[in-house]
Amino acid sequence: MRLKEKVALITGAGSGIGREMALLFAREGAGIVVVDINQEDGGRVVEEVVSSGGKACLVRADVSCADDTKAMVDQAEQEFGRLDILVNNAGIMHSEDGDSTSTDEAVWDLTMNVNLKGVFLGCKYGIPALRRSGGGSIINTASFVARVGAATPQVAYTASKGGVLAMTRELAVIHAREGIRVNALCPGPLQTELLMKFLDTEEKKQRRLVHIPMGRFGQAAEMAQAALFLASDESSYVTGSEFLVDGGITAAYVTPE
């Protein structure tokens, strides 16, 4: 087992990529702290883990709230005695997120609070716990749009994920000598509820698909496999990286430096 005796806290674990990470990490031996704002979704994931022989606990938390974020880390240490893997995965993609002239300020603020501030708070309270465990791995879920921009405008989401990349690089440098690795997982367009609600017409879906060399949307389970590498000791010399798992979309559209 690649994560035997490790403890992983995963935000946004009630659905999508987070759910797949929780199930996979549990199969690989980790104790799982399932964090989600939706208690019902999170509870189902805990039941799935436990019914498969794994160990998991549920914490309801709004990652944009400092008190909730501190509490989720405290719960991880109370339940399992340590924290080894922190996955800042919770995020939103607002249906009214458009270009700079059409996006309401409230949509911008909400997106930044969840997608960017939520990662900051996760690290603020999670890093001390990783120190107490002697080091560990932080995985921040970013996006390919932080590198190439989005064909369908979503300025707040894109900007928030760009911030996640910048924060990931800085934290990786700051904490490298402490044995704390910090990497960003950058998914391409995925066939998840989050994206499909945003790409709510066939025209919008095709606008994304036409840019993907592999010609299909990715699956959440494929992202979990990439995250498993970053969480495990197999990536012991990997920090500050942008792990693109995107069906080739950035390779096709980013000019090499």
Residues with a catalytic annotation lie at 157
The number of CA neighbours under 13 Å toward the Cβ of 54 is 28
Q: Single out the residue of 29, 11, 23 nearest to residue 71, CA to CA.
A: 11
Closest CA to 184 of 222, 239, 229: 239
Gap between the Cα atoms of 4 and 28, Å rounded: 6
Residues whose CB falls within 8 Å of the CB of residue 170, separated by 6 or more in sequence, listed in order = none
Q: Which two tokens stand for residue 187?
A: 């998914």
Contacts of 114 (CB under 8 A, 6+ apart): 63, 64, 90, 91, 92
List the Cα angle 13/146/159 in 5-degree steps: 85
d(CA 126, CA 140): 12
Number of helices (H) and strands (E) in the chain: give both, helices first. 11, 7
**Backbone CA torsion sign across 67, 160, 8, 54:** positive
CB 100 within 8 A of CB 54: no
